[in-house]
Structure 1
Amino acid sequence: MAKSPPSKPLLATDKPVRSRPRKPRDPAQPNLPLDPMPTRIEPCLALLKPRPPNGPEWAFEIKWDGYRLAVHIEPKGVRVVTRGGHDWTDRFPAIAKAAKNLNVATAIIDGEAVVLDEQGRSDFGLLQQSLGGRGGTRTSDEAIFMAFDLLYFDGHDLRKLEFTARRHLLEGLIKSRDNVIRLSEEIEADGDRLFAAACEHGLEGIIAKDRESRYRSGRLGDWLKIKCIQSDGFAIIGYEHSFVARAGIGSLLLAARHGRKLVYVGSVGTGFSERSAWQVREALDKLKVKNPPVEYSGRRKYIVWVKPTLVAEIEYRAWTKDGKLRHSSFKGLRDEHDNDTVYAFDQI
Structure 2
Amino acid sequence: MHIETEAIRTQMERTQYSEHSAPVYLTSSYVFEDAEEMRASFSEEKERNIYSRFSNPNTSEFVEKVAKMEGAEAGYAFATGMSAVFSTLAALLNSGDHIVSARSVFGSTHSLLTKYFPKWNITHSYFNVNEPERIEDFIKPETKVIFAESPTNPGVDILDLERLGKIAKKHKLLLIIDNCFATPYLQNPIKYGADLVIHSATKLIDGQGRVLGGVTVGSSELIREIYFFSRNTGPALSPFNAWILSKSLETLPVRLEKHCENALKVAEFLENSEKAKQVKYPFLKSHPQYEIAKKQMKLGGNVVSFEIKGGLEAGRKFIDKVQLCSRSANLGDTRTIVTHPASTTHSKLKEEEQLEAGITPGLIRVSVGLEHVEDIINDLEQALKV
TM bracket (short chain) = under 0.3
* TM-score, normalised by the number of residues in structure 1: 0.27
* TM-score, normalised by the number of residues in structure 2: 0.25
Identify the structure with the greater strand proportion.
1
Identify the structure with the greater helix proportion.
2
Which structure has more relative contact order (CA 8 Å, sep 6+)? It is 1
